């Protein structure tokens, strides 16, 4: 029996340039916060932080020898996604009177994600420790005590029951506090889905220059992860603000300006979670008595095993008159009444990331290295072709028909017409597999610089009644460690001492 890995042939590309940009800001906001410098000046200079970001797939350094007199500091960011855990070790350098530049970055990823250890929490410690060892090797010993260490978890942990997620966070916190790095009490947490979307929107609009160029139109963001999918854009039509359901609007405050954003994260509609739903499975539950999950979206003669969230499922295809048509009906049933349709997306320029990129590249719709653009209808065209081919010929991934059909219908459910153009950044500009959503930690460090606030958004924004002013898109309870303690006067801590946003 053929066993299919969780990802098939997909790599789930995430952009490192935005992460360097955003985490550079993350670390520097902490730095200026505890050294009484100007956070606003730092924020406007973040485009320069990525200038040194070039090199190989695991680490990159400046190509020129650094001048004497540089002040050097480091930061460590763990990104705990639904399909893997990644560590990013950043080195920054600053000349007197200037803002920092990102001069070195090291990256390593491990699979599976933290959520895979929900029933055996102790096993999660080994992977976390392995990634911490990467940081130890990369950061000089004398800097360890002053280097902030943070973990942000995403949809994988949001999908777990609260008690299980909390136990995982506590284990990570335990491992972190046994490390030689600087760890605050609230530096292990689960990002809320809205923060993921807003963070990515900030990133994309800095990359396109929209936030730095007065009068320039902003762009929207589409992100398809393993456990959730996000859509975020800045509405210009009042009707969008008035008709949006509760929880779909949030206000982003930056430098005396408030952006009323349409931003929502759909938990359970990430590509891997969607696969399971299309197969008829239930998240976190093995099939009853080892029964086979049948799907018209798989090749009719296919039979094998697929692993998702540390559970192995027996799966098989079904005979169908038309693989695409039958699969499309099944996918439409999974999406029915779960996605909000908004007309304004037709008029907004959008960039797409993650599995959107991987699927498009895997079937030749865009160049795998150069990125590019396509129209939404190209996904449907590719799905019909691939599904028809799978009826008679094997493919390296039995999920390719299902995945393309799902993406095609998901985009149409959002409101994108078939002729709508979507864009991707070139991989040479954003070359590594990572997650840029960690910028959400900015809200915990510098409330005076950036925050999301549904209370100031249009009516129906869905603010959390327990913590007014913070949007709640995914209706899932927060899992956080204790409030961050106030650091000593001259230490660098990635926590603010203020209440952080809830999930």
Question: How many angstroms separate the Cα of 18 from the Cα of each of 53, 231, 437?
Answer: 11, 17, 9
Reply yes or no on whether the pLDDT at 317 is more than 60.
Answer: yes
**Closest residue by Cα to residue 105 from 133, 81, 135:** 135
Domains and CATH numbers, the chain: 13-192 (3.30.420.40)
Strand partners, 109: 86
- Side-by-side strand order, sheet with 149-153: 59-60, 101-110, 85-94, 71-80, 149-153, 188-190
More confident: 472 or 254:
254
Reply yes or no on whether the pLDDT at 98 is more than 80.
Answer: no
Task: Provide mean pLDDT across the span 173-200.
Answer: 88
Task: Provide mean pLDDT across the span 115-125.
Answer: 90
Reply yes or no on whether the pLDDT at 204 is more than 60.
Answer: yes
More confident: 103 or 151:
151
For 256: left if phi > 0, alpha if psi spans -120 to 50, otherwise beta; the answer is left
For 93-154, where are the alpha helices, taking DSSP H only?
121-138
Residues taking part in catalysis: 196
Task: Provide mean pLDDT across the span 185-209.
Answer: 83
Q: Map residue 123 onto helix, strand or coil.
A: helix
pLDDT at 488: 29
Reply yes or no on whether the pLDDT at 502 is more than 80.
Answer: no
Reply yes or no on whether the pLDDT at 276 is more than 50.
Answer: yes
Contact criterion met (CB below 8 Å) for 255 and 241: no
Instruction: Please report, rounded to a whole number, the percentage of residues in the chain having pLDDT higher than 90.
Output: 45
Q: What confidence category does residue 83 fall into, taking pLDDT thresholds of 50, 70 and 90?
A: confident
Calculate the average pLDDT of the chain. Answer: 76
Encode pLDDT of 452-462 as tens digits: 554 344 433 33
More confident: 159 or 317:
317
Encode pLDDT of 231-243 as tens digits: 999 999 999 999 9
User: What number of helices (H) and strands (E) belong to the chain?
Assistant: 13, 18
Encode pLDDT of 382-402 as tens digits: 999 999 999 888 777 899 999
pTM above 0.85, yes or no: no
Measured CA angle at 469 (ends 466, 473), to 5 deg: 80
- What is the distance between the terminal CA atoms of the chain, rounded to a whole angstrom? 41
For 69: left if phi > 0, alpha if psi spans -120 to 50, otherwise beta; the answer is left
Reply yes or no on whether the pLDDT at 76 is more than 70.
Answer: yes
228 is in an annotated binding site: yes
- Say how far apart CA 300 and CA 322 lie, in whole Å: 10
State the DSSP string of 367-381: BTTTBEEEEHHHHHH
Token pair listed for 347: 């008029």
Most confident of 30-44, 403-417, 422-436: 403-417
Encode pLDDT of 22-56 as tens digits: 555 555 555 444 443 333 333 333 333 333 333 33
pLDDT at 187: 81
pLDDT at 249: 96
pLDDT at 169: 93
Encode pLDDT of 365-379 as tens digits: 999 989 999 999 999
For 159-302, where are the alpha helices, taking DSSP H only?
162-177, 193-207, 238-243, 271-279
Task: Provide mean pLDDT across the span 294-300.
Answer: 94
Q: What confidence category does residue 357 fall into, taking pLDDT thresholds of 50, 70 and 90?
A: very high
pLDDT at 100: 63
124 is in an annotated binding site: no
Give the sign of the dihedral formed by CA 261, CA 265, CA 270, CA 275.
negative
Contact criterion met (CB below 8 Å) for 138 and 106: yes
Reply yes or no on whether the pLDDT at 439 is more than 50.
Answer: no
Contact criterion met (CB below 8 Å) for 30 and 187: no
230 is in an annotated binding site: yes
């Amino acid at each position: 029996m053929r066993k299919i890995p969780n990802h098939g042939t997909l790599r789930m590309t995430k952009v490192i340039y935005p992460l360097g940009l955003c985490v550079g800001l993350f670390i520097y906001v902490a730095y200026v916060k505890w050294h009484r410098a100007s956070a606003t000046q730092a924020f406007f200079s973040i485009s320069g932080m990525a200038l040194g970001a070039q090199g190989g797939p695991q680490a990159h350094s400046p190509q020129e020898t650094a001048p004497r007199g540089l002040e050097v500091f480091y930061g460590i960011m763990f990104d705990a996604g639904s399909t893997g855990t990644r560590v990013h070790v950043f080195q920054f350098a600053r000349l007197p009177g200037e803002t920092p530049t990102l001069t070195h970055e090291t990256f390593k990823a491990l699979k599976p994600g933290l959520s895979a250890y929900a029933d055996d929490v102790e096993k999660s410690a080994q992977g976390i420790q392995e990634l911490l060892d990467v940081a130890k090797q990369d950061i000089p010993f004398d800097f360890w005590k002053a280097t902030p260490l943070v973990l942000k978890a995403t949809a994988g942990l949001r999908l777990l029951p609260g008690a299980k997620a909390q136990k995982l966070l506590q284990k990570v916190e335990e491992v972190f506090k046994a490390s030689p790095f600087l760890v605050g009490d609230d530096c292990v947490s689960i990002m809320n889905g809205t923060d993921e979307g807003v963070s990515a929107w900030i990133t994309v609009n800095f990359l396109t220059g929209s936030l730095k160029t007065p009068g320039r139109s902003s762009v929207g963001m589409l992100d398809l992860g393993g456990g959730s999918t996000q859509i975020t854009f800045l509405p210009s039509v009042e009707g969008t603000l008035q008709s949006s359901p509760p929880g779909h609007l949030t206000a982003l405050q930056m430098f005396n300006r408030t952006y009323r954003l349409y931003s929502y994260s759909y938990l359970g509609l990430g590509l891997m979670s969607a696969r399971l739903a299309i197969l008829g499975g239930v998240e976190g539950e093995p099939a009853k008595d080892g029964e086979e999950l049948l799907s018209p979206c798989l090749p009719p003669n296919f039979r094998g095993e697929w692993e998702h969230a540390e559970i192995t499922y027996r799966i098989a295809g079904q005979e169908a008159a038309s693989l695409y048509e039958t699969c499309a009906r099944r996918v439409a049933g999974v999406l029915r009444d779960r996605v909000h349709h908004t007309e304004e997306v037709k008029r907004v320029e959008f960039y797409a990331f993650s599995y959107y990129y991987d699927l498009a590249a895997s079937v030749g719709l865009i160049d795998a290295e150069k990125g590019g653009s396509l129209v939404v209808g190209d996904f449907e065209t590719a799905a019909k072709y691939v599904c028809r081919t799978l009826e008679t010929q094997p493919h390296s991934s039995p999920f390719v028909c299902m995945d393309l059909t799902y993406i095609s219908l998901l985009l149409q459910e959002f409101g994108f017409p078939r002729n709508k153009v979507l864009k991707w950044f070139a991989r040479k500009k954003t070359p590594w597999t990572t997650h840029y959503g960690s910028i959400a930690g900015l809200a915990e460090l510098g409330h005076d610089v950036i925050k999301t606030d549904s209370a100031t958004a249009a009516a129906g924004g869905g603010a959390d009644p327990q913590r007014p002013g913070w949007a709640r898109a995914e209706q899932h309870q927060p899992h956080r460690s204790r409030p961050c303690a106030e650091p000593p006067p001259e230490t660098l801590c990635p926590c603010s001492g203020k209440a952080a946003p809830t999930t």
